[in-house]
Structure formats: structure tokens, C-alpha cells
Structure 1
Amino acid sequence: MSLKKRYNRINLITKQWKLKKTHSLITRYKIDPKFFNEFKFYIKLYISKALNIDFNINDKIFIKNIDKARNNRLNITPNGAIVPKREFHLEYNLVLRSWCELVRQISKKKPKLLKLFRITPNIRIKFGKELNDNKNRELSTSHPHSDAWVEGPWGMNCYIPFFGDTKNNNLQFYEPINEFNESYMAISPSYKKMQWVMDYYKKIKKIIPLVGHVNLSDYAAIHNTFRNPNCGTRVSIDTTLFVGNYKPHKDRLKEYTDKIPNIGLNHFVDSGQYEKDKPADKVSTYSHYTSKVLKLIKF
């Protein structure tokens, strides 16, 4: 059974990377506060350009500015992800530079454990009220889901809440009740069609991902966005990485590198599209919204 392998992998990275295990399928890394604030600054700068709103160092004021721009959907997916465009290339690459540096910090005590690094993290706005065009989507992250259903069974999730109402608008995790069946991690073009898996899962209580931490979870830990009544908006990053000799779905391989690139130093990411362009189609149901046009350029 792969569940034991998954437990062992969490134990391995917790020990080798000096993390703090919070569950048999979940562990976390505390980000240096100075670095976290710098990273948050770049994320705000990126969002301010994408939404065409005023930048503000104060989190509460900036969230209000985001909420006022809720209907500006030019660069926002139904799931709240901010799509990079060439008009704010510089700001996007500043975010990616911080993301690369953060993963270096996490894995520095045993870097060889990291087999595949994803260069396309989702900078995501989860509004207090769900966007209407996301409510019935097959791949809405408000449905309990595993990224295994679109990426293959062996990745790991990375989730970083940055600011906003993270107490009432965050992630809920679930664990297998008894035996674990490999079919729970099967590929599917729809989260809705995989909801039968939840008959064999239960909520993990008292685990709320913390601001200022990278929350790492195995794909076997199913999760979804939860919103308490009258909650506010939250800004976060979510992405994936691979530990061990595993690979994602073939349509997602383009998003990964075997080494962490030096984005901002000798690498640059070209989003491949302008705001005025027709939104680029995905390569397939399983691919990322940047996969058809994004390029990693080495200087």
C-alpha cells in the first residue's frame, strides 16, 4: 500500500529539512519573518498591477482595494488565480525569484530530495464570496480534491497563506478513514466526478494552515477551500513539488525543472501573452493555464 510510503516520505522531509510535522500526511516550514515580508511585498506589487489597484503596505487596506476590484476579471481565473501577462512581467519575476529562493531555503539541508521544482506557482485571491463563474466548475478548488486527480498520484502540495481573513477563509484537509485504495488517486478531468472518494475520508480537525509557513501535504491529504459565513478575502500561493523518483502527468511536465532556476539572476520567465490577447487555451484539461505560452528563458 502506498499510504505507508507517503507517511515515510513526510517523515523523511520533516527530518532531513528540519520541518515540523503536524499530521502523518502534513508538515510545515516556518519562513524567516524578514523574507516573508519581502515576499509579501512582491505579491502585493504583482496583484496591484494585475488588478490595476493602488498598492498599500497595510494588509487590511490592500484587501479592501482588492475587494473593490472584484469585477475586474481581465487577469483573474474563475478559481482566483492571477494570470501573468507581459504588462507586469517584472513584478511576476520578482514573485518567482522569491519562490525559488524560498524552496532553496526549505531544501538546503538535503537538496537532492527535491526531484522536480515547479516554476508556475498560483498566486491566488480567494474572495470572501465565491466568484459566480467558479461555483459549478468541474475543477473548482472549493470541491474537496486531490491534485493527484489532475497531476498524477505522487506530488506534494505547497500552500502559503499570506494575508487576509485566513482564520475564516483557508484550507480544510481530509484523511483516509481506514484502508487506502490507489483508485482514490486516479486521474480525472473533474473534481466533481471524484467526490465518491469522500465516502472513505474524514475531516482532519484542528489543522489550519498558518500565515508565514509553507504547508506541505501529500496528495493523499485531500483538501478544499472553506469559507465560514461572512468571511473576508484571502491571498495565498499554492503549488506543487515532487520528492522521490516520480513524475507528474505528461501535460504538466513543462511546468517543472529538475533544478531550481535562478529567476531574476540568469533566468527570466516570459508569460507569452499580453492583456489585449485572447486568453491562451490550456494544452489539455490537466495542464496549467500558462502551459501553452509561458517560457523559461536563460540569459
Structure 2
Amino acid sequence: MNEYQLLRKKHFDAAVAQTGFQTQESLTASFQIPKNLFSELQKTVMDYLYTSSHHAAVKKEVLSDFLEAFSSKAKNVSTSGIVIPKSYCDLAFTNVHRVIAEVMTQSNLREGAEFWIYPFNIRLKGAVKTSDVLSYPTELPHSETWVGCSKRSVLLHIPVLGDMENNLLKVWKPGAEMNADWLRPLASYHDANELIRNSQELSVSSQAGQVLMVDSSLLHGTYRHPNAGPRVSIDLNVVLKNYSNDIFPDEHNLLAERQKLSSQDFFEIGKSLRVHSPDGDGDIFSPVDGMRHPANIKIVKS
């Protein structure tokens, strides 16, 4: 590790020590979700997918068949697999949020969060990888800072449904050339091809029933073993109090104020607050500010 990587490790370790997460490889950690809570998360995510596809639950329906056909039935799926909250499924999205907030409370991450980058993503990754012609293919090792996320943030990844064993998230450690200059927006993940080539895969990956935490100075990406099936996961980013702006200046992030959600509001969604979207399937959200994200949402009173 170079000096910058060691500095991030120092602050990452201090943040993790205040939570229920357990350190794994350097700059990564995981939290085991209580079984009853994980089951509730799976149920609310399934309800969200059914609502998104205007599909009624069918007894004995094979999950893999439903997920395989999902993108042809649902009209709210982005090119990277984000299932976008729309007017007809924003309440179901709120219900998913409520369970995630409880997971974060039980992990003791609640007190360490300065703010949450919002909305989080419920994402379907099919058996076939994203096209190589995309500028930001999530199969390519990458950092969220390359699309404008805060360099003071960590990624939280939760595999929820489907083939979570063979269709998973892997993590890589960049070489010594990794420094603060690399944690800035890029026009394409391909702009970092040399850094990607010099990265070393870590012996850590996403696991069913766990929250995987990854520091922004590491790289992550979707990986599929041969004959993998579709997988649904949740990813969200949080800025930690331990990552002081004085030590990690954050002048390059593209976050709009509407994308910064206070912890107070984060933990009220599903209670006194809810997520609302005015958009239907025919509406395309193209904001002129902030990180690129396809969801047009507001936080309103329940």
C-alpha cells in the first residue's frame, strides 16, 4: 500500500470499529443480516419487482424464470439494470427502504453516517453481461467516484435474490499508482484501463445474507461464473463522519443537494416520510445537475 491507501485504511478501520461490521480484506468489511430481517428484505424486494412489472405473484412460480423474463415485462429498467422507482411502484420502493434502514440500524452504521447518497439502487444483473460499448459497464472494475460519487463515501452492496453464488460482486485493489487524483469523475470506465489492469483481485466477494462494505479507493464489478443465472441486489453509498473533508477534500464530486439525504430523513422514510415519483413509464428523467441517475424522486410526508 502507498501512503494514500494507508491513510484511507486508517480511517476505514476506525469507522468499522464503531459498527457491527467485521473487517475482511483491507478496506472491506461485512455485516451478517439477521435471518428474519433478510427474509423481510427479500419479500419487500420481490413485491417491488412484481409491482414494477405489473405482475401478480403466482404460487409455485420459479424465481429464475420470473427474473429472466423481468426486463421484457418491466419498463422501468435502466441499461445498467437499475429498477427505477416510478409512480406506480414508489410505495413498494419505500417499503424496501424501511427494511434497509432497519438493517443499517442493527449494524450500528447509523451513528457513523454523515449523509446518504440517494436514491439507492435495486439492480437486476442478468446472465448476460452489459454491452462493452457502454461508457460505464458495471462488469468492469470501477469506483463509484468515477461517476461523480463522493470520495468520502463507501459502497454498501447487498445481494438479495436469484443466483447470488454465481452472479456476484468482486473487489480489486489498485496498484501503488492509486491516489486521490484517481477518485474523480471520468468520461468512461475505460479511461482507467491501465489502472484496472494493474489491480489485484481480493479474496472477498458478496455473500447472500450479508452487507458488503467497500471503500471508494478499491474497485468493484459484477462477475458471472459460467452458467450463472440472474441476480437482484441493492447498492447504496454513504459518506462517513470518519472521512473528514479536511483530510479527504471532496471538491470533484458531482452530487446535487437533492442527492444528499440526512440520516434523520433516511431513518424516517417508511415511517413519517415516503419516496414519491411523479414519473410514469414514458417519462425520462434527465437532470442538468448531480450524478447521473435515472430516478426522479422526492421525499414527502407519508
- TM-score norm. by structure 1 comes to 0.89
Offset, 1:136: 1.5
Do the aligned partners of 1:128 and 1:230 also contact (CA within 8 Å) in 2?
yes
Q: Distance in 1 between matches of 2:196 and 2:118?
A: 30
1:105-128 residue CA offsets vs partner (Å, 9 max, x unmatched): 2226xx432111234110011001
Q: Determine the C-alpha separation between the residues in 1 that align with 2:121 and 2:132.
A: 19
Take 1:2 and 1:103, find their aligned partners in 2: how far apart are those partners? Answer: 28
Quote the offset at 1:281 in angstroms: 1.3
1:85 CA displacement: 0.9
Could you tell me how far apart the structure 2 residues matched to 1:178 and 1:67 are?
Answer: 41
Deviation at 1:76, TM superposition (A): 0.4
Distance 2:237 2:98 in 1: 16
Counterpart residue number, 1:23? 25
Instruction: Report the equivalent of 2:286.
Output: 281
Q: Are the aligned partners of 2:155 and 2:235 in contact in 1 as well (CA < 8 Å)? A: yes
Post-superposition CA distance 1:167-209 (Å, at most 9, x none): 21111211033353222222213112222222432111x3221
Separation of aligned partners in 1, 2:69 and 2:146: 34
Gaps spanning 5+ residues in structure 2: where?
none
Per the alignment, residue 152 of structure 1 pairs with: 150
CA shift digits 1:207-241 (9 cap, x unpaired): 22111111001011101111122211111001100
Deviations 1:153-173 (A, max 9, x none): 221000001121122111121
- Which of 275, 290, 296 is equivalent to 2:299? 296
Q: Secondary structure of the equivalent of 2:213?
A: strand
Q: Which residue of 2 aligns with 1:121?
A: 120
Could you tell which deviates more after superposition, 62-71 or 78-87? 62-71
Q: Following the alignment from structure 1 to structure 2, what is the Cα–Cα distance between the partners of residues 73 and 298?
A: 27
Among 268, 275, 281, the residue aligned to 2:274:
268
Cα separation, partners in 2 of 1:47 and 1:39, compared to 1, 3 Å: same
Distance 2:118 2:108 in 1: 16
Could you tell which deviates more after superposition, 279-288 or 262-271? 279-288
* 1:270 CA displacement: 0.7
1:44 Cα deviation after fit: 0.2
Counterpart-to-counterpart distance in 2, 1:130 and 1:262:
36
Residue 167 in structure 1 maps to residue 165 in structure 2: yes
Whether contact under 8 Å (2:151, 2:183) holds in the other structure is: yes
Tell me the equivalent position of 1:178.
176
| Contact preservation (8 Å) 1:113, 1:243 | yes
Select which of 134, 137, 143 maps to 2:134: 137
C-alpha distance in 2 between matches for 1:199 and 1:170: 20
Identify the residue that residue 106 of structure 1 maps to in structure 2: 107
2:12 aligned with 1:5, yes or no? Answer: no
Contact 2:86 2:278 in 1 (8 A): yes
For 1:215 and 1:98, the matched residues in 2 are separated by: 16
**Corresponding position of 2:71:** 70
Counterpart CA distance in 2 for 1:62 and 1:52 is 16
Task: Judge which range, 166-175 or 179-188, deviates more.
Answer: 179-188
User: 2:9 is paired with a residue of what secondary structure?
Assistant: helix
**TM alignment of 1:200-219, pairs within 5 A:** 200-204=198-202, 206-219=203-216
Q: For residue 206 of structure 2, what is the amino acid of its counterpart?
A: P
The one-letter amino acid paired with 1:130 is K
How much identity, in percent, do the aligned residues show?
21
> SS at the partner of 2:101?
helix
Give, in angstroms, the shift of residue 19 of structure 1: 1.6
Q: Which runs of 5+ in 1 are unaligned?
A: none
Say if 2:143 and 2:218, in contact at 8 Å, map to a contact too. Answer: yes
Retained in 1: the 8 A contact 2:159–2:209?
Answer: yes
In structure 2, what is the Cα distance between the partners aligned to 1:143 and 1:180? Answer: 17
Distance 1:57 1:23 in 2: 41
3-state DSSP class of the match of 2:204? coil
8 Å CA contact retained: 1:128, 1:232? yes
Q: CA deviation at 1:257?
A: 1.8
User: Which residue of 257, 262, 270 maps to 2:261?
Assistant: 257
- State the secondary structure of the residue aligned to 1:265: coil
